[in-house]
Structure 1
Amino acid sequence: MRLLWRSLRGLVLHHRPHRRFLATISSTGNDQRKQQSHKWSSPGSRTERLLYAAYWAGGLALGYHWLSDGHKPLLAEAQVVPSDDEQEARARLWHITPRADLPNYKTDQVEQHNSAKTGIWITYGLGVYDVTDFADNHPGGDKILMAAGSAIDPFWAIYQQHNTLEVLELLEGFRIGNLEGVDLKPGASAAEDELGSPWAHEPQRHALLKPASKRPFNAEPPIGLLAEQFLTPNELFYVRNHLPVPVISAEEYELEIESGSSKKKDPLTLNLEEIKALPKHSVTAAIMCGGNRRSEMTKVKAVKGLSWGAGAVGNAKWSGARLCDVLREQGVQPDESKHVIFEGADLDPTSHPYGASIPLSKALDPRGDVILAYEMNGETLSRDHGYPIRVIVPGTVGARNVKWLTRIVVADKESDSHWQQNDYKGFSPSTDWDTVDFSKSDAIQAMPVTSAICTPQPGARVKPDDDDGHITVRGYAWSGGGRKIVRVDLTSDEGKSWHVAELEQEDSPDGRHYGWSLWTARLPISESSGSDVEIWAKAVDSAYNVQPEKFEHIWNLRGVLANAYHKVRVKIA
């Protein structure tokens, strides 16, 4: 499924040019961009010229039909090239907008087209699409067959890399009709409106959380609140869900542990009470999403992923049983080549659980502080944060801190899950989706050093605190792998002069500083700075790693590891 947009684009260009009516519902500017990116196997060939002729003839004919069929107001807009955001906003309405030029189909009619023999139809919202030819050429065609004759909404709600302007445009090229009996509101989907939907039992969330997506729910708190408290309040801790939140009762919960040990071959099964009966251990650890601050990297060049600000991070005191104690009791011995796989109770549409893994060396190290957590800041874990058990892997990217933990396996290889093998990996700025090979990059474990300015916020009007022209700046800093923050530097003159912030942090042993550091600085603002000032912040950790200055130097196609200087422009009152 993750290669859908690439395969779909190639198929439409090479096999179905007569169905590309997208020029009638997209912008001329976007068309020009796409034409520049098209590469034909035989430039200037007779086949290419015929296909181009068919493309333009079809586009003109369908464009005339569209404009003459009650859409004349678009003529006035034709002279204005919409922005990418405007185009994407329109594209997100296509699947819930009836097409008067296409027939209507009942659900049972769609269901009959569920194989290559009968033709493969799918629905998305109230759109009906014939993807028969596409499925034969798509490397993930087996996944499409699972949705054959039914809705693809549940798949796309989970595999969010399809939720882009380009994919939505290309999908619309396969549309053959409208689904009868579906009444959707803008922003909804057929699968979400049905009884028994996997989203029907989502928990309530705090109103201050700003969603980056609603299905699955992903949200961050207002950045201005993050530096207010060393321990982030549970209800304001960012939420990162990849799949629907499972419903798990304490009475029925079980955790299966496969040790891979020759001494104890049978898996160990622990219920919640047995886990709580083990020695209790607590650790303060910041958890950060691998895509934190992605929205800043996107300004350099578009990436695929949720548009996180700097709030996809939180700091909490986690309590539970140490994983190293459980594994050693099972006879697990140190082995640098082995891994520990975690699986959650959250399932994708193919009934595969969310999964991730860490090196066994981290899991067995008492100083690694990996715990089977059932408490967060002294309270029972909430459902959004992994109730009843979440593995906490301090210093490691949030994706490895698996929630709703149901299975642990000591294995010779990493987890084979999508999120371990084909996501949460970093690449060179020169690598793009046409050249990426996820098998060539290591899965992210420890996160790099980073910091963010929480107050003042971008665009704020700031009044100096005193006659000398100082302003107060607050924020957070953190580094993975247990590395301590030793300094946060700030500048208001693009690096001509730097000022060191005061730190608030735990006094933890070296190599176990898993919590974040909050910082405060009184930054002098000179009269020559003018009314507009851009504040820069960079952190330095105990290994003297320092943040890079520019996102251009660390851009990657998934928008992860976004740790360049944090820059905030304010107005001086």
Structure 2
Amino acid sequence: MPFVTSRRGDDDGSSATAKADSLSSNDDDAPDSTTSPPRSSSSRLPTISLDEVRASRAVAITLLARLEAEDTDVVPTDVGSKHRILITHDDVVYDIGEFIKNHPGGARRILRAAGGAVEPFWKMYAQHSAPGVRAVLDELAVGRLSTSDVAKLQEELAQELESDPFANDPKRGNVEEKLLVHSYKPFNAEARAESLLLQQHDIDDDPASHRLAFVTPNDAVYVRHHLPVPVGGGPTSIAVGECRFDVADLMDESKFRRHRVKAVLQCSGNRRSEAQREARELELPDPQGLPWKQGAIANVEWEGVLLADVLRAAGVVPEKKMVTTNDGYERHVQFAGADVPRVGDWKDETGFYGASIPLRHALDVNREVLVAFRMNGEPLSMEHGYPLRIIVPGCTGARWVKWVERIEVADDESPSFWQQNDYRILPGSVRTRADADFSAMPALNGTPVSSAIIWPPEGATVSPSEDGTVEVSGWAHAGSGRGIAYVEVSIGSDGVWHQAEEVRRDADQDMRGGSFSWTTWRTRVPLPAAPSKGGEGEIVLRVRARDVDGNVQPDANGACWNLRGLCFNGVHARRCNAAAP
């Protein structure tokens, strides 16, 4: 039987979290969770007893039970004015009664911390260590604990605070040799420039060249986590509506045909560091999130089974009446990962990382959406979603759910925070999270045309060859399966663009027909003026790409600015030093 769940018209609480402020549940903003926020200045606050803090939990429990029964995060308007709901951090007491209505992670999640210390929750939801979060909390301060109550609370919390929710993450060894680590808890790291280049022994004709490997080695594929890695990886079976398939069933070629596709996996925040630098130069608000450079991207050969085949096996047929609702809205396929937060004995069942794509997209075999179990001929690693990961070629990496354990067809998009209140490009007029209405913006799926220089590295000294040229190489990519028409490079300020000479595309896919792979390129460009003998001169290299639909990367000057720094695709500039021949 076909399976469809209907939530359209139900109030799932997304409206309560649409107005998200800077106390965000977005791990993209998270530095290492071991960094403690500054202590609040509490010397002028009245003393509140720990017993009074704990007494407020009764109000929270009653409210939480009501919200759970109604399956909503919409909080009654009088909550906060009638009763105080208290939490502590360090020695300070905060009243969150009014704030819970707009908590980006939902009222039910923050209510779990009511009547006690917030530190165990912040260890799991490490994004709360982001700059600005403590400033929001300080506005809610209403008192402080006595020295004796602080000691009592610390003693009670000792075991919980000593435990590390990330302790069972994979052992990563010398990961920094290949990856630039931005945070450890959760783990987030991108490929170093040299990791994306072909090894010298792989280059026969010109061992001095610096070309990108067309297929990214597994140990150079960037890692993007929002939560701890599930212990042992994902489950050994996957629920698809009312059906369940063992991983072994999906790998059995007598039951499901195998499919392989080369496709780019790219973080939505790739190149955000450029957006952040540009924002500072233009005095715009700093885009929020990890400062990804140009290495949160990889081109991989994925292997698995078509999602369309799995859905058909579960009873979903590609009929028009199935892909839209009666009132004409798109239906969606929701994916839920096994990375579920835990705090003490509480398992955050709704806090899983999840995403969704339109059902029409999932059933289109030309889209090549996979339930994958191999990458570059090897089983998925724990880091990349073992045993099963959703692969959505042409789509931003935010929809490629790792450790997938549940697939469901529904009238609405995934209720996951990361589908509802993140990974949507906000208008340039939205300058703070308090002004953000994520529900008014479409979910991000395809990505714009973009390119970047990988060689030479930023700040490197390059020597021109005898003909006065320098070597430049990098990648270009356009989402939604659009091919790259050409790549151009300029040097200096003369405004002259040179078309890249060596361009490699996926041999299995015609440029005009589109490609889910990236395009790698290499060229030599002439120095506009050679430095004097023995000297050096700064040069600025720029690259831009145009896709087959005519879309071209824009110039800088704030054209790509958005509050979350997503999909930055301005012309990429790299500053280097040119040495005299």
Tell whether the 8 Å contact from 1:104 to 1:180 is kept in structure 2 after alignment: no
Residue 521 of structure 1: which of 520, 523, 534 is its match?
523
Q: Are 1:130 and 2:94 counterparts?
A: yes
| Post-superposition offset of 1:481 | 1.0
Query: How far apart in 1 are the matches of 2:476 and 2:453?
Result: 9
What SS is found at the alignment partner of 2:176? coil
Corresponding position of 2:190? 220
Corresponding position of 1:283? 261
What SS is found at the alignment partner of 2:215? coil
Number of residue pairs aligned between Structure 1 and Structure 2: 477
Corresponding position of 1:440? 440
Q: Are 1:341 and 2:340 counterparts?
A: no
Residue identity opposite 2:521 in structure 1: W
Question: Between Structure 1 and Structure 2, which shows a larger proportion of helix residues?
Answer: 1
Corresponding position of 1:372? 371
Per-residue CA distance 1:138-192 (angstroms, 9 max, x = gap) = 55554322111334345545666644433323424527247438999xxxx9898
What SS is found at the alignment partner of 1:165? coil
Corresponding position of 2:76? none
Corresponding position of 2:240? 257
What SS is found at the alignment partner of 1:283? strand
Alpha carbons of 1:317 and 1:449: their partners in 2 closer, same or farther (altered >3 Å)?
same
Structure showing greater relative contact order (alpha-carbon pairs closer than 8 Å, 6 or more residues apart): 2
Give the TM-score, by structure 1 length: 0.75
Query: How far apart in 2 are the matches of 1:136 and 1:453?
Result: 45
Alpha carbons of 1:500 and 1:553: their partners in 2 closer, same or farther (altered >3 Å)?
same
| Post-superposition offset of 1:7 | 8.5
Per-residue CA distance 1:396-445 (angstroms, 9 max, x = gap) = 00011110011111222221221112111112222223432212211111
Query: How far apart in 2 are the matches of 1:190 and 1:470?
Result: 62
Tell whether the 8 Å contact from 1:367 to 1:512 is kept in structure 2 after alignment: no
Tell whether the 8 Å contact from 1:105 to 1:180 is kept in structure 2 after alignment: no
Residue identity opposite 1:216 in structure 2: P
Residue 228 of structure 2: which of 208, 224, 244 is its match?
244
Q: Are 1:430 and 2:429 counterparts?
A: yes
Tell whether the 8 Å contact from 2:384 to 2:402 is kept in structure 1 after alignment: yes
1:162-561 matches, cutoff 5 A: 162-172=128-138, 174=141, 176-177=144-145, 179-180=150-151, 193-195=161-163, 197-205=164-172, 206-208=175-177, 209-228=179-198, 229-248=213-232, 253-258=236-241, 267-277=242-252, 278-299=256-277, 300=279, 301=284, 302-334=286-318, 335=323, 337-348=330-341, 350-352=348-350, 353-433=352-432, 434-464=434-464, 466-494=465-493, 496-501=495-500, 502-510=502-510, 511-527=513-529, 531-550=537-556, 552-561=558-567
| Post-superposition offset of 1:256 | 0.6
Alpha carbons of 1:136 and 1:348: their partners in 2 closer, same or farther (altered >3 Å)?
closer
Tell whether the 8 Å contact from 2:125 to 2:227 is kept in structure 1 after alignment: no
| Post-superposition offset of 1:344 | 0.7
| Post-superposition offset of 1:489 | 0.5
Alpha carbons of 1:477 and 1:151: their partners in 2 closer, same or farther (altered >3 Å)?
farther
Per-residue CA distance 1:218-246 (angstroms, 9 max, x = gap) = 11121332243222221221111111111
Query: How far apart in 1 are the matches of 2:245 and 2:453?
Result: 43
Alpha carbons of 1:406 and 1:199: their partners in 2 closer, same or farther (altered >3 Å)?
same
Tell whether the 8 Å contact from 1:340 to 1:363 is kept in structure 2 after alignment: yes
Per-residue CA distance 1:64-99 (angstroms, 9 max, x = gap) = xxxxxxxxxxxxxxxxxxxxxxxx99x964457998
Aligned Cα root-mean-square deviation (Å): 3.4
Tell whether the 8 Å contact from 2:123 to 2:165 is kept in structure 1 after alignment: no
| Post-superposition offset of 1:2 | 7.9
Tell whether the 8 Å contact from 2:543 to 2:572 is kept in structure 1 after alignment: yes
Corresponding position of 1:16? none
Residue identity opposite 1:296 in structure 2: E
1:53-202 matches, cutoff 5 A: 93-95=36-38, 111=54, 113-116=56-59, 120-124=85-89, 126-132=90-96, 134-135=98-99, 138=102, 140-153=106-119, 155-156=121-122, 162-172=128-138, 174=141, 176-177=144-145, 179-180=150-151, 193-195=161-163, 197-202=164-169
Tell whether the 8 Å contact from 1:5 to 1:166 is kept in structure 2 after alignment: no
Q: Structure 1 regions of 5+ residues with no counterpart?
A: 9-87, 259-266
Query: How far apart in 2 are the matches of 1:445 and 1:471?
Result: 37
Corresponding position of 2:10? none
Tell whether the 8 Å contact from 1:227 to 1:475 is kept in structure 2 after alignment: no
Alpha carbons of 1:249 and 1:160: their partners in 2 closer, same or farther (altered >3 Å)?
closer
The range that moved more, 362-371 or 98-107, is 98-107
Per-residue CA distance 1:337-395 (angstroms, 9 max, x = gap) = 32111111111453222111111122111211111111111111111100000010111
Query: How far apart in 1 are the matches of 2:91 and 2:508?
Result: 56
Query: How far apart in 2 are the matches of 1:182 and 1:382?
Result: 40
Per-residue CA distance 1:494-549 (angstroms, 9 max, x = gap) = 46211122212212334451111211111110217881111111111122211111
Per-residue CA distance 1:109-136 (angstroms, 9 max, x = gap) = 8655524589544344x45432255547
Q: Structure 2 regions of 5+ residues with no counterpart?
A: 1-16, 25-30, 61-82, 199-212, 325-329, 343-347
Give the TM-score, by structure 2 length: 0.74
